[in-house]
Amino acid sequence: MSEETTGKAPETGVAQPATTGSEPAAAGARSGGRPGAGGGGRPGGGAGGRGKFFRRKKVCKFCTEKIDAIPYRDVRLLQGFVAERGKIVPRRLTGVCTTHQRRLTRAIKQARNIALLPFATRH
Ligand SMILES: [Zn+2]
């Protein structure tokens, strides 16, 4: 009787030798919870902030309309190029070409003079 039955032999673990990924169903159920891990479909939505504010034609208005001599009497026309304070709007904003801008400033000044000093003051 040399057999020793103490401890009952550790047979645990041998009963189920098929633990090497033989059951993909269980593993798949776990990681399969989230199908699309890569959400968010924004491919660089950072649009430039500039240029959107003032979108006037970048072409000279007088050139497009073929206005050679700017009518200084046309106040409405001139007012489009004069700020509220009476400042002449810079070319950057209006998009007027240099030559027309010059004529425009002239016309505006002339209009100013006329507006400020209408003809002759009556005595
Ligand atoms: Zn022009």
Ligand 1 center to residue 52 CA distance, Å? 23
Ligand 1 center to residue 62 CA distance, Å? 5
Beta-bridged to residue 82, according to DSSP, are 88
Which mean pLDDT values do the consecutive 10-residue runs of the chain (123 residues) have?
A: 57 54 51 53 52 61 93 89 89 93 93 71 63
List alpha helices for 5-97, DSSP H. Answer: 24-31, 61-64, 75-79, 91-94
The DSSP symbol for 82 reads: B
Q: Where are the chain's structural domains? A: 61-116
What whole-number distance in Å separates Cα of residue 69 and Cα of residue 100? Answer: 8
Ligand 1 center to residue 100 CA distance, Å? 5
Structure confidence at residue 27 (pLDDT): 47
Lookup: tokens for 12: 């645990």
The CATH superfamily of 61-116 is Ribosomal protein S18 (4.10.640.10)
pTM: 0.49
Q: Please, what is the Cα angle at 105 between 51 and 99, to 5 degrees? A: 70
